[in-house]
Structure 1
Amino acid sequence: MSTPAFVQESSTAQAQQAIAEEFAFFPDWTERYQYLIDLGRKLPDFPEEWKSEEHRLLGCQSMVWIVAQGDAAQLRFHAISDSAIVSGLIFLALRVYSHRSAEEILATEPDYIAAIGLAKHLSPTRNNGLAALLGFIRDTARAAIPGGTAG
């Protein structure tokens, strides 16, 4: 698979800054939710054969499937949800963390969540799902580093 459209910045820090700037453009959360939905529509195609229990992300109320590829030098994540808003949350996480090294992933806290006020505007179940998504990404990065372990 080629580099998806959401990989724009050369570092996780630049991606998080760009996300904060984009969300600051919208004056209220109605518009921010619409932007999230629009971002979710930009996720790359996700092969139907990957929509299996093997790739299902547990901890999400919505159906979410995620596949990791690569190694410690560069991890790529592919994911999709049956929920429009959750797909937007996936887009943001992949924009920050996909196509990065395992070390960069592990060194990067998801500061964009606080920067845009996301946590206080999501339901508890969506917050749990976002935490599960970010946990999967971190666990995958940890496991990719020689001598690393998931969990």
Structure 2
Amino acid sequence: MSHADVLDDLPVLHEATLWADDGWTARIIKNEEDDGWAVSMTQDGQAEAALVGPWTMGRDKKNPKPLDAPAFHTLVKTANEVLRRHEQQLHARLHKQVDVELEGLARIRVSLDIVPDDDDPTAVLSAHDRDGNELARVPVSPGFRLNRSSAEAWIEAGYRRPSRD
């Protein structure tokens, strides 16, 4: 079953304060912090909203402005961008690399890849040459700090597992 087939099976709702379409649900909610309104965007299958933001008051200055197609599509676009940024930040936190050029050696790319796990996170330090061939791979602590000097020290030590990682 394709992603499009799954989306076709989901209910479509177009109500004043609740829209469900394109794999997303927009829900207008009372903003408990003030007299205004907020909108939450939740991707289908997710427990938590990807985006919560202020929502415009209606003409009566008491009730929320009703959802409509252009607003919903803008909210979907914004929520997708929030998720994309979150994924980029997570990737940057879990995958680090530094290029090192040592005297007499070609450039070597050293990478730290962290595998998150609530109970037992792990990490791997690896080195690759200019052509992408793996030169070494060793397990390290997820707290290992990869920077130019730690990469150089690892290379100069013959790629032995860092003793105090």
TM-score, with structure 2 as normaliser? 0.26
Structure with a larger share of its residues in strand: 2
TM-score by length of 1: 0.28
RCO comparison, higher one (Cα < 8 Å, 6+): 1
Q: Which is higher, the Rg of structure 1 or of structure 2? A: 2
